[in-house]
Structure 1
């Protein structure tokens, strides 16, 4: 289950990077903001999962 969560979080981060870059290329502030939100959200979820694993040991 943690592998699936990790992959989902990495996919969200990647999706955010792509969306943010698409927003930069097209000049769309909405896409940049949405991409940044996805990227940061995925990164925070990854960090939280990593911290949780560290405290389980």
Structure 2
């Protein structure tokens, strides 16, 4: 389960970076902001999983 969540986190981060770059390329501030939000969600999920790993070992 933990590996699945880590993969989701990484996918959210990558998707967010792509959205942000696309938004910046076309000058769409909303798309750029959505990308940053997705990256933040991925960062939070990844931090949560790392914390769980620390307490697991």
TM-score by length of 2: 0.92
Runs of 4+ in 1 over 3 A off after TM superposition: none
TM-score by length of 1: 0.92
Q: Which has the higher contact order (CA 8 A, sep 6+)?
A: 2
Q: CA RMSD in A?
A: 0.8
Tell me, in whole angstroms, the C-alpha distance in 2 between the residues paired with 1:4 and 1:49: 10
Gaps of 5+ in 2: none
The count of residues paired between Structure 1 and Structure 2 equals 57
